Amino acid sequence: MKVLMLAAEAAPLVKVGGLGDVVGGISAELRALGHDVRIALPHYGFISAAGESQSVLSVRWGRAKVKSSCIETAIEGTPCLLIGGRPIAPGESVYAQTAAIDIRRFVFFALAALHHVQALGFQPDVVHVHDAHPGAAVHWLQQAASTEPFWRRTARVLTIHNMVYQYNEAAEALALGGLKPASDNRVPTWARAGLLALAIRAADRINAVSPTYAKEIVAQEHGAGLHALLLARAGRLSGILNGIDYQCWDAATDSALARNFTAETLPAREANKRALQQETVLPVGPAPLLGMVSRLDHQKGLDLLARALPAVLREGKAALVVLGSGDGNIQAALQQLAADFPERVLLNFRFDEGFARRIYGGADMMLVPSRYEPCGLVQMIALRYGAVPLVRATGGLRDTVTDCDVDPASGTGFVFDAFTPRALRAALRRALTRFEDRSFWRGMQRRGMALDFSWAAAGRRYQALYRKAIEDRSARGTD
């Protein structure tokens, strides 16, 4: 199949969060399955890629025609088109400080990318859009299907990584691109010019990044106002759990670690814990070491952690290391915790992949107390590195971690339900008690390490989803 991926991020070239990892990862897997995959990304100011060839064309943008460039490069072997043009150029970062700038840049990107692909003669069987950013492409394709023979047979797939970022006030940017908002009353009035809502409405198939999240978003709590629209499209909605790159994340070969290890050589892991304790100047010794690697975002529940942890730290000998960057208020809450427990809490507010790897390879547990979590990659990496995950029962966390008190024979971690300090504290106490039983703990680490969250399973599921989308497309004829 010929597949065009449209996204704001694709790792390793552009990565802010898990979205980038997933777009890069699934593209590589689909290519390995024999599909002809192209990724298109906005040509952000910070990408200095000198590509093999560059083409330029004009895109209608209001009354004017705006020049758009396209540089052909590659991301780890997958061909990648970097789409440029005046609305994309401003700012150095992937996401601007204001939604209005993002909306203009992403609407322009989505429409220009389709023009370039057509000019290059690459006729995709599937246009696969990730999240709201390139959502205008799905809306445009729905309209073009009746007028443009080139796009008549193209199926449209939307993957939802996060319902919260919707870009709802896009009427002006859509008008610049010659598009009208939806008039359909399944879409709430406030979302009729929303990039996510328009994509949900016009996609042949929609998937969320875990089976549980696919169920959660059709209800009010996690649907971010679009649950009724999603429910109306429930027949087209499914969940596909993300994967992680098993070569890139491998404790047996990871050069960031003091000692490499496998499930068979788990005692060797102790050297990594010691090294991490030394590096972070936390007390060296057998006391449990908790780790957290996270964007500092409201979603991630760090505020809950800051409220739940003091009592637990006062009672026992556990220590905590946190690596993350983002929101200043969250940083301040964590700084208070570190000020209260200077010898037990170490914070690092940077993006540092080597340090993240040393945390996965050395911490005894990884904490993921998210408010909501469409999939979550941290707990999957933690399982692979023998760090026992403690997670909240939401989205992909629920789909990937089995609580060892609920199911001692196949448990791989600790799961708590209510988003309250009390529930988190109870799970932490259970974990610290279980930690004393070394052989039980080893068993849990081994079971976690034996799970398979590589891209292989997700690759096959996406392939099947594309086939369904193509069937839907041909059954429907023109829109």
Burial (CB < 10 A; 0-12, 13-18, 19+), residue 74, is middle
**Cα(251)–Cα(261) distance, integer angstroms:** 6
What is the side-by-side order of every strand in the sheet holding 155-160?
A: 53-61, 64-75, 78-83, 36-42, 2-6, 126-130, 155-160, 205-208, 237-239
For ligand GLC, give the closer residue by CB, 18 or 448: 18
For ligand GLC, give the closer residue by CB, 17 or 51: 17
Shortest Cβ 254–ligand GLC spacing (Å): 21
For ligand GLC, give the closer residue by CB, 209 or 293: 209
Which contacts (CB < 8 Å, 24+ apart) does range 258-262 have?
A: 258/358, 258/362, 261/361, 261/386, 262/449
User: Which residues, listed in sequence order, are joined to residue 399 by a DSSP beta bridge?
Assistant: none
Shortest Cβ 202–ligand GLC spacing (Å): 21
Residue in the block written with tokens 């809502």: 197
Shortest Cβ 209–ligand GLC spacing (Å): 4
Start-to-end CA span in the chain (Å):
22
For ligand GLC, give the closer residue by CB, 371 or 430: 371
User: Which residues, listed in sequence order, are joined to residue 181 by a DSSP beta bridge?
Assistant: none
For ligand GLC, give the closer residue by CB, 298 or 460: 298
Shortest Cβ 25–ligand GLC spacing (Å): 9
Shortest Cβ 297–ligand GLC spacing (Å): 8
Shortest Cβ 134–ligand GLC spacing (Å): 15
325 token code pair? 């960057």
For ligand GLC, give the closer residue by CB, 13 or 71: 13
Q: What are phi and psi of 86, to 5 degrees?
A: -55, -45
Interface contacts to ligand GLC, rule CB under 6 A: 17-19, 22, 161-162, 209, 242, 373-377
User: Among residues 4, 162, 166, 129, which one has the least CA distance to residue 78?
Assistant: 4
Which residue number has the CB closest to ligand GLC? 18
For ligand GLC, give the closer residue by CB, 376 or 448: 376
User: Among residues 155, 154, 160, which one has the least CA distance to residue 135?
Assistant: 160
Three-class secondary structure of residue 42 per DSSP: strand
Shortest Cβ 16–ligand GLC spacing (Å): 9
